[in-house]
Amino acid sequence: MGKPVRRWMPSPALIVACLALFVAMGGVGYAALKGKDKKKVRAIADQEISKQAPGLKVANAANAANAVNLGGSPPSDFQRFCRGGGIKATAVVNTVGASDTSFTNVPGFNCLQPGNVNSSVQIERLAQGQYFVRFVGNGGPNASGSAVTTMVGADGYVNYDLANPSPIPGENVFIVIVHNAAGAVVDNRTFSLLAF
């Protein structure tokens, strides 16, 4: 009996390398075009772009002076972070050693105090496995009132609700209850809270 014929199959790395070579050579070919050919290519590109994005032209790509605006509006007009329905605050809280006498600072993000990642999020231990989570200044018409909570790195689950009445007048404060897998309320766990 003879040896079976093995078909040569290129490896994924070889396929990617060949593709990169063809793309690179195409770029060299485009760069080698003379002025008249470049104008033709630019005209074709303008036609294709105008079909997909009316009003946008390849010629505008060379001018980055207006790159900070989209349709005359700054990027902040399009960011949904911190607006109604958007993410307003987040924290990952390690409850080991949490104070049960007052609010203490924990690292986190709070859009009501942008740039302040050290003291804009606070927790206070109420009882075993029960904590207030405060996003400082979380009041008024844009206040966070709903959240998603998860256990981090352990078995179990986390519940939350808005504290009623709030321990800080005029602010929405979350109360978080941490459970182990058996459902018992426990301390010394880490949880995350993402507020909307």
Whether 87 and 114 have beta carbons less than 8 Å apart is answered as: no
DSSP lists the bridge partners of residue 195 as 89, 147
d(CA 124, CA 182): 24
Task: Kindly list the distances between the CA atom of residue 31 and the CA atoms of 14, 34, 52, in Å, as whole numbers in the listed order.
Answer: 26, 8, 25
147-152, strands of its sheet edge to edge: 108-110, 89-94, 190-195, 147-152
Model pLDDT, residue 175: 93
d(CA 64, CA 163): 49
Give tens-digit pLDDT for 66-114: 555 556 666 556 555 566 667 788 888 888 888 778 898 888 888 877 7
Top pLDDT among 19 and 30 is at 19
Rg (CA), the chain: 28
Q: How confident is the model at residue 65 (pLDDT cuts 50, 70, 90)?
A: low
Confidence check: pLDDT of 57 > 70: no
Confidence check: pLDDT of 167 > 70: yes
Give tens-digit pLDDT for 116-158: 778 889 999 999 999 999 988 888 776 777 888 888 777 889 9
Answer whether 0.75 is exceeded by the pTM: no
Give tens-digit pLDDT for 3-20: 665 567 778 787 778 777
- Assigned token pair, 84: 């109604």
The set of residues, in sequence order, having a beta carbon less than 8 Å from that of 59 and lying 6+ positions away, is 42, 46
Q: How confident is the model at residue 176 (pLDDT cuts 50, 70, 90)?
A: very high
Query: Which of the residue ranges 4-13, 49-58, 172-181 has the most confident prediction, judged by mean pLDDT?
Result: 172-181
In three-state secondary structure terms, 17 is: helix
103 closest CA partner among 168, 172, 151, 193: 168
The set of residues, in sequence order, having a beta carbon less than 8 Å from that of 36 and lying 6+ positions away, is none
Residue 108 neighbours by CB distance under 10 Å: 23
